[in-house]
């Protein structure tokens, strides 16, 4: 009596495991990309707000070049 798994079955199991691992890897990478994009969008928004604030901070103030 043989206790080893038939090579054909073993091959199918290995292929399914490989496919599952690929799906998991792709899902993780997709989530990572989503997070990276969200961070990038937040940085752009932060820079836009900072630019608007810097423009409004100097309004109404006269520049004295002679000191």
Q: Write down the pTM of the prediction.
A: 0.59
User: For 4, left (φ over 0), alpha (ψ -120 to 50), or beta?
Assistant: beta
Residues 3-44 pLDDT 10s? 577 999 999 999 999 999 999 999 999 999 999 999 999 999
42: number of CA atoms within 13 Å, CB side? 6
Provide, for the chain, the percentages of residues in helix, strand and coil under a 3-state DSSP scheme, each rounded to the nearest 5. 75, 0, 25
List of residues 6+ apart from 5 with CB closer than 8 A: 13
* Residue pointed to by tokens 């990038």: 40
* pLDDT value at residue 49: 92
């Amino acid at each position: 009596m043989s206790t080893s798994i038939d090579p054909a079955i073993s091959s199918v199991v290995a292929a399914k495991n490989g496919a599952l691992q690929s799906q998991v890897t792709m899902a993780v990478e997709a989530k990572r990309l989503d997070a990276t994009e969200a961070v990038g969008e937040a940085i752009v928004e932060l820079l836009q707000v900072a630019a608007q604030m810097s423009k409004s901070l100097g309004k109404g103030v006269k520049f004295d070049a002679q000191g």
